[in-house]
Amino acid sequence: MNDYASATVSDADARDLLESMVAIPSPTGEERAAAEYLRDFFRDHGREAWLDDVGNVRAPADDSVLLTSHVDTVPGDIPVRVETEGDEDVLWGRGSVDATGPLCAMAVAAVNAGVSFVGVVGEETDSRGARHLVDDREAPDAVVNGEPSGWDAVTLGYRGFLAGTYRVETDSAHTSRPEPNAIQQAMAWWHRVESAFDADATFESVTAKPVDVEGGTATDGLSVEATIDAQFRIPPGTDAAEVRETVEGELDGGTVDWRDPIPPVTVSPRSEVGRAFRVAIRRRGGDPRLLRKTGTSDMNLFAAAWDCPMATYGPGDSALDHAPDERLALSEFDRAVAVLEIVSDELQ
């Protein structure tokens, strides 16, 4: 422990924090109520805490390690309740796994161990909280990012992320005409894009996914318009420029407007953070597992900006991310808190 360690949070109080936070809706863009509740949790335990310019919860302390996870969740109304499944008490609710569970585990560990904490906003969309954070502060000595890995596993790699919107427009014409309209052009373009990537949804491949499609006759009746919002996951060894070049090479009319990319990341299992997690998980009776995930997290941005050891960790089964049956065993949450406290102590 150190001079920043505050009043100890009991296991019961930690579970109360988790259940209370899951019960506060916090879809991206609507995180403020949850962020304020979390800020007050730190203040109630003797820690300085505030919301920064973008809404991140900041609670600085011993910077030997920064524990950070995201406050926002995806939309979805899952009735919040605790049910007994076998011999486990299980908390149901949106965010219980992704990532209010990891967020609360980190908040409790940060109080008990006296280390720095940030709850960031916007991770599920543009990662504006993490982007602001790396611009607004120096690198800590180490980072533990919060996402579900399972209490006995550590995530060391994520694919990168690139999003863009394809737009095409054609003149209006009678539907009996043979020329393809904008909707047909958009469908044909997407088929070519999917075929360009031999994707099998593994960590080493680029995968392409349409997330929104719109099309129809323009309001003035003079043209047909179509748009496709698309997302691409990028493995290490490939960069966003290569993906953009491939996608734009399949254009036959139309344009693509790109958003800022997030680079892929792989970190060493032999870093100080990796070693601390192996020690902590074994001390709690687990056999440490090392993971690489096909998605993307804020760790990608932290690794690109900060030259320090890091990893991603948190309770929960990531197969339940964004799912209609999202739920977390409370005993797993308890174990994750204990692991994070040991890791924090090992890194101080």
User: What is the rounded CA–CA span in Å between residue 184 and residue 188?
Assistant: 6
Beta strand 115-120 pairing with 265-266? unpaired
Check if 123 is active-site. Answer: yes
In 16-53, which positions are buried (b, 16+ CB within 10 angstroms) versus exposed (e)?
ebbbbbbbbbbbbeebeebbebbbebbeebebebebbe
Contact 232, 243 (CB under 8 A): yes
234 beta partners: 160
Contact of 297 with 99, CB cutoff 8 Å: no
At residue 318, the 3 state secondary structure works out as helix
Told to judge if 72 belongs to the known catalytic residues of this protein, a careful annotator would answer yes
Phi and psi at residue 2, in whole multiples of 5°? Answer: -140, -175
DSSP-derived secondary structure for 58-112: EE--EEEEEEEEE--B-S-----EEEEETTEEEEESTTTTTTHHHHHHHHHHHHH
Name the catalytic one among 31, 98, 123, 298. Answer: 123
Contact 185, 227 (CB under 8 A): no
Closest CA to 332 of 149, 155, 146: 149
Q: Is the dihedral of CA 93, 98, 100, 104 positive or negative?
A: positive
The residues carrying an active-site annotation are: 72, 123
